[in-house]
Every structure is written in structure tokens, then in C-alpha cells.
Amino acid sequence: MHEGSIVSSLFEIAEQSKKDANLKEITKVKIVVGKFHQIVEEVMLMHFDIMKQDIPGFENAVLEMEEKDVKIKCSGCGKIFTIDEPIFICPDCDSIETELFQGKELHIQTMEGIE
């Protein structure tokens, strides 16, 4: 369960952003997560809700997650495909020369807070 360490890192970044923006409280944190990370949303939310209680200014914060599909781009035919299994073969031309086009994202998109 790597969700706990991800949430811990998220709070480190969010805390610094809170200080930099002179905010008293953070009310919402929205993150973008690629499916490649295999993060379980319920576990992520649970860790966030537990950890936020120990961090001043985050007690009432909510976490929103936007999940991005895993997409590959074929170097052979140039097409982009969404995949559900970790099979990086072009379903159109059977080329193994593909690259991960989307799905590895993991970043804070926005934060809302009170001054």
C-alpha cells in the first residue's frame, strides 16, 4: 500500500504551498493520478482523512482525485490507444515499439484555501 507514502508527500508539498501563499487553512486539494500507479482511491482518501487531523490548517480539507487512463502511442503507425492491461503492444499493427503517452501523472492540480 503505497498510498500512505504518497499522501504523506502530498501533505509536505501542500504544507509548503500553504505557507508560501500565507493561507490559514486548506479546504480542498485536487490531484491528478494516472492509472499506471494503481492507486486505490478509497485507500488514498482514507489515508488523507487520517493524516489531515495531525496537520494544522488541513483538518477540514477534502481530497479530490482525477484519474487518467493509461494510453500508449505506437511508434510504428502513430495511433494512440487506451489500455487496461500492462500489454504495451499496438492493437492495430502489433508493433512492440510503443511509448507510454498518458497514465503516469501524479501531481497536485489545484488547492483551495482561506487566507
Q: Give me the CATH number covering residue 9.
A: 3.30.2320.50
Running DSSP on this structure, what letter comes out for residue 93?
T
pLDDT of residue 26: 97
pLDDT of residue 53: 96
Number of domains in the chain: 1
Q: Is residue 44 a part of any domain in this protein?
A: yes
pLDDT of residue 2: 86
Tell whether the model's pLDDT for residue 34 goes beyond 80.
Answer: yes
Distance CA 99, CA 48 (A): 32
Q: Is residue 87 a part of any domain in this protein?
A: no
C-beta atoms surrounding 40 within 10 Å: 11
Tell whether the model's pLDDT for residue 41 goes beyond 90.
Answer: yes
Tell whether the model's pLDDT for residue 1 goes beyond 80.
Answer: no
Rounded to an integer, the average pLDDT of 80-96 is: 92
Share of the chain above pLDDT 90, in %: 95
